[in-house]
Structure 1
């Protein structure tokens, strides 16, 4: 590759690297552009490959190093292109191609590929920033014959499936999807295994996996979820998949309805034609899909009906996310009308007025969109889909991020409270590690399958616990009022006295957050304000605990620049990191006249060292860390996560003998809260000793 090509790939790496679905790739060395004639001749000499590197001449060593760098550049370029390449098969699978007079179709080529994908779908399925124009610059690096044959192979596999039995076709289509990759974190393709696990455990139906959902089985088995299964997969049911991307959810539902109807409508020995006709009826009468892009609509049509041209009730809903965000009533009104689902020729005055009743709504909603304006990161949107579905359907089951179950994350707090206290809503399954469900996607806080039923009442979720054993422990030990929680004696970071600081050092306004209005000693404040020194400059300087380059350290600052009225600055306290893993909390016993940055939280404002030592022992107990763990789902450890840890009396008058060891204090706490042998065993086995 010449210098221009290397520069192009270096720029493309910056774009591809910004998409979360692409792993890290190496850097392109723009100086390694090719071998000179002399280097090429040297590399043809047999001894250059046989001799130890030390015995080679400097020229030979340089030629080998240059060859190695060129190979590395080539491998890196291929890896960068892979960020685009992994998106292509799904688009090839769904693309609409013109049919020729003899029934054949034109091939997908590098030259017509962009024209087959509409701009909105291109933006959805390709890495962020890779436009059609950019793809045009890089298509020269693809082998046109290999590209063409890849498209032919994918489509022939899908076309061949149309000749199989219903069950065999489903197996073939699911195996094709197993080769596709997630476009991006915002567009997660749900694996067929997860679709089966999700729907079988929430609604029941005909499942294609064994009981552990590890292996596909030859004959699908009926899973019953009480009366729910019969209510959903009945003959005249209407099932809606919202945000359909692959059509696999609809495929599972269609087959489950097909089996119900086959038992009612087909004889003991139906012909293949009878089975195909019934499948077409199920697609036309029972299954409905909303898609976010035109290409998604084509993909789900291919999944459900192949190349047969059978009617599929799939609609591309324009500007879906924005509609649900700003005008959800428009979406609900439109989708709930019968006329929306009828072809123009099928519509009548009566159908224009009639509403659709959806017996069940299923799917995997989009999780987030990039924040706009001055905000950073991403904003959740899956809750908008849950809200809309609960207004449209009798039953709703989605798979989505689980942070809101712990009242954490960026979903609106009032929405979290609403769902956690909804008696019609329950958690079917929770995975703390999202990799157990989506192997290539990291979703902080885990993933959950939830179920909402308009006509059934469940116990409110309230405070969600990932282990059933924690429910009993929580009921016995968790405080019902904040005044009885350890949270009530926890304090955030030390603060500046900004009036004094900025009066004497107005230039420090740049190092203070919120345009000079943030009083907090932020996590990186040691690097931003040069007033912090390693040694005392004055007798009344105050020591501050903070972090520099991920290492704890102390710095000093003149007393006059701090807000001395802070609750525990002049008191004994226990300091714990605001963020930590699942192991040791990493607590520190602090003397009075010691402050701390926002990296830490302070427990207590004690008058005596003894009380602080007792609080430190309490924080180290397995009991306290178990109660903390109920609300702690990520490494983040804000004050709110300590809400369920009961407050203790840390004085000499306490009902706990704090002079004992931590393990003995645990036993006193188990007895105090009346924990059963099973609950004690759970804590002892699950929580590591400190």
Structure 2
């Protein structure tokens, strides 16, 4: 009998390299990348088990709880089929054992469940006549899917008149799912549409859910996969606003306490991400992460899929306690040497190992025995003057008390009474920087926009943050020069993972006296940055171009 799943990969091209992604949120994993993750798993297993080969173990169980194409399950099955040949010499018996006893999945949609079964069982029905598994009695086999509904909660109670009965009835609006945060307005759908209510995260008791799906005694040794990344939350034009959900999948997976977990996630959680602060704190404090391989450049892992901030995959080991081996890759090449380090050394995950060593020097610098203050502590919050994106008049003519307002590539005049926050800053010298900068391209070499020196009688819209308020024009110009240095922009880059820039982005930048001009040479000398580290900084951060337009921001939306 010829077993199709193991000959499929011999065809050119592999069928799973030919399917289009569902969206930027539900991304198919390329087979080559799935195998890289499996190689990482196999190496970790061997290290922990005196060189043993995980693919020769007939009792090791695997779960992909967010199955899409079935690539992880297919490649695991292929490896086990080769590795268990001595345990089960008969091919049909070997494959049936693997598929019925070792390999499990949970489809994220009906379509992906069917696709995964076709990839793994060679049949959309696990018990069908063409299935290569012979012992299943159900159509799902071990790749489960059933429609799950959201649990709507919260919202606003309103009373309306029923148009038929003319009776007043109570309705709820703006409700969200209590499990995943999905908007009822966007995801309350008919039976013929997917709900995107993923079963794995729509439960208060993940162990009970797994027992319900696969049996009371089911304990997985390995959980592996690539979860959905986010759900549109009903905000923003065209669904631009979205809420991350991959963190929910990670938390449920680790709560099952597998021996190993290997997962791909967007890297935004390192230092940002909407609503991810608590998740980041838990991830960094968990010393069971053994390996993290980071791909900071757009499109390196998923060509054509725009995941700002890049992606990474990591290996979590239940029996590991200590530093994590961190590797940065550009394309297929590792950049620098992997480094063992504690992920919670700082409040964010600094993604470049060389960057950590430079940052350690900066943070260790003392003045009169004291740590230096940080620029991020004085940078303004969003909407520093209470203005959104209002635009005033082109000239001050006709205004009683005009203020010059810097906006999105504009300057206009408004009445001073329009300023509702930090009114005392209006008549001070200050330096402004845009709060979103960069493009969706692969390389961000400028990091920050061009500083704007704003004199007395000025304010800005929410396009800008106020970097500092000072007493004189000289100090303001010196601060602008400081912000243009490669040194400062490099330190910001260690916290800036997408185009968005917040006051927290400046929390690695020392707050120095602006009674003098600071150059990169001065700063390298002050913090003992050696020549190799200087070369590293300058390989990443370009000299500040002289033709930047203040406030310019190509594709700067979040």
TM-score (norm 1): 0.60
Alpha carbons 1:491, 1:567 under 8 Å: kept: no
Task: Give the deviation of 1:675 after TM superposition.
Answer: 2.2
Aligned counterpart, 2:97: 281
The alignment partner of 1:631 has SS state of coil
Matches within 5 A, 1:176-325: 176-200=15-39, 202-204=40-42, 226-227=47-48, 230=52, 232-233=54-55, 234-262=57-85, 264-265=86-87, 274-306=90-122, 307-310=130-133, 311=136, 312-319=141-148, 321=197, 323-325=199-201
Greater fraction of residues in strand: 2
Task: Give the deviation of 1:676 after TM superposition.
Answer: 3.0
| Cα distance per residue 1:159-213 (max 9 Å; x no partner) | xxx725875344349712222211222332111122112332x3137xxxxxxxx
Task: Assess, with a 3 A threshold, how the Cα gap between structure 1 residues 433 and 569 changes in structure 2: closer, same or farther.
Answer: same
Aligned counterpart, 2:268: 403
Task: Give the deviation of 1:670 after TM superposition.
Answer: 1.6
- Residue 341 (structure 1) aligned with residue 179 (structure 2): no
Task: Give the deviation of 1:265 after TM superposition.
Answer: 1.9
Task: Give the deviation of 1:635 after TM superposition.
Answer: 1.6
Alpha carbons 2:108, 2:198 under 8 Å: kept: no
Aligned counterpart, 1:628: 492
- 5+ residue gaps, structure 1: 1-161, 206-222, 343-353, 497-519, 652-657
Alpha carbons 1:182, 1:189 under 8 Å: kept: yes
Alpha carbons 2:5, 2:119 under 8 Å: kept: no
How large is the Cα RMSD of the aligned pairs?
Answer: 3.0
Task: Give the deviation of 1:297 after TM superposition.
Answer: 2.8
Task: Give the deviation of 1:561 after TM superposition.
Answer: 3.4
Aligned counterpart, 1:45: none
Question: Which of 373, 384, 387 is residue 484 of structure 1 equivalent to?
Answer: 373
Question: Which of 381, 397, 402 is residue 541 of structure 1 equivalent to?
Answer: 402
Task: Give the deviation of 1:415 after TM superposition.
Answer: 1.6
Aligned counterpart, 1:417: 281
Alpha carbons 1:232, 1:359 under 8 Å: kept: no
- Residue 461 (structure 1) aligned with residue 318 (structure 2): no
Aligned counterpart, 1:676: 530
Task: Give the deviation of 1:603 after TM superposition.
Answer: 1.6
Task: Give the deviation of 1:318 after TM superposition.
Answer: 3.6
Matches within 5 A, 1:532-681: 532-538=393-399, 540-547=401-408, 552-563=409-420, 565-566=422-423, 568-581=425-438, 582=444, 583=446, 585-651=449-515, 658-659=516-517, 665-681=519-535
Matches within 5 A, 1:126-165: 163=2
Q: Distance in 1 between matches of 2:383 and 2:4?
A: 70
Greater fraction of residues in helix: 1
Aligned counterpart, 2:336: none
Task: Assess, with a 3 A threshold, how the Cα gap between structure 1 residues 564 and 181 changes in structure 2: closer, same or farther.
Answer: closer
Task: Assess, with a 3 A threshold, how the Cα gap between structure 1 residues 644 and 261 changes in structure 2: closer, same or farther.
Answer: same
| Cα distance per residue 1:592-622 (max 9 Å; x no partner) | 2211111111121111222212211211111
Q: Distance in 2 between matches of 1:380 and 1:675?
A: 37
| Cα distance per residue 1:548-587 (max 9 Å; x no partner) | xxxx232122223324743532211111111111326211
Task: Assess, with a 3 A threshold, how the Cα gap between structure 1 residues 230 and 675 changes in structure 2: closer, same or farther.
Answer: farther
- 5+ residue gaps, structure 2: 123-129, 149-195, 324-341, 439-443, 545-558
Task: Assess, with a 3 A threshold, how the Cα gap between structure 1 residues 482 and 193 changes in structure 2: closer, same or farther.
Answer: farther
Q: Distance in 1 between matches of 2:235 and 2:514?
A: 48
Task: Assess, with a 3 A threshold, how the Cα gap between structure 1 residues 492 and 568 changes in structure 2: closer, same or farther.
Answer: farther
Task: Assess, with a 3 A threshold, how the Cα gap between structure 1 residues 558 and 169 changes in structure 2: closer, same or farther.
Answer: closer
Alpha carbons 1:628, 1:642 under 8 Å: kept: yes
Q: Distance in 2 between matches of 1:493 and 1:361?
A: 40
Q: Distance in 2 between matches of 1:284 and 1:446?
A: 36
TM-score (norm 2): 0.73
Q: Distance in 2 between matches of 1:670 and 1:457?
A: 36
Question: Which of 359, 363, 376 is residue 225 of structure 2 equivalent to?
Answer: 363
Aligned length: 447
The alignment partner of 1:379 has SS state of strand
Q: Distance in 2 between matches of 1:317 and 1:300?
A: 14
Alpha carbons 2:430, 2:455 under 8 Å: kept: yes
Q: Distance in 2 between matches of 1:282 and 1:359?
A: 14
Task: Give the deviation of 1:235 after TM superposition.
Answer: 2.7
Alpha carbons 2:121, 2:132 under 8 Å: kept: yes
More displaced stretch, 236-245 vs 458-467: 458-467
The alignment partner of 1:452 has SS state of strand
Alpha carbons 2:224, 2:263 under 8 Å: kept: yes
Q: Distance in 1 between matches of 2:198 and 2:121?
A: 30
Task: Give the deviation of 1:288 after TM superposition.
Answer: 1.1
Alpha carbons 2:46, 2:54 under 8 Å: kept: no
Alpha carbons 2:45, 2:53 under 8 Å: kept: no
| Cα distance per residue 1:119-138 (max 9 Å; x no partner) | xxxxxxxxxxxxxxxxxxxx
The alignment partner of 1:171 has SS state of coil
Task: Assess, with a 3 A threshold, how the Cα gap between structure 1 residues 373 and 617 changes in structure 2: closer, same or farther.
Answer: closer
Alpha carbons 1:403, 1:446 under 8 Å: kept: yes
Task: Give the deviation of 1:490 after TM superposition.
Answer: 1.2
Alpha carbons 1:232, 1:360 under 8 Å: kept: no
Task: Assess, with a 3 A threshold, how the Cα gap between structure 1 residues 196 and 589 changes in structure 2: closer, same or farther.
Answer: same
**Which has the greater radius of gyration?**
1
Task: Give the deviation of 1:364 after TM superposition.
Answer: 0.9
Q: Distance in 1 between matches of 2:425 and 2:83?
A: 67
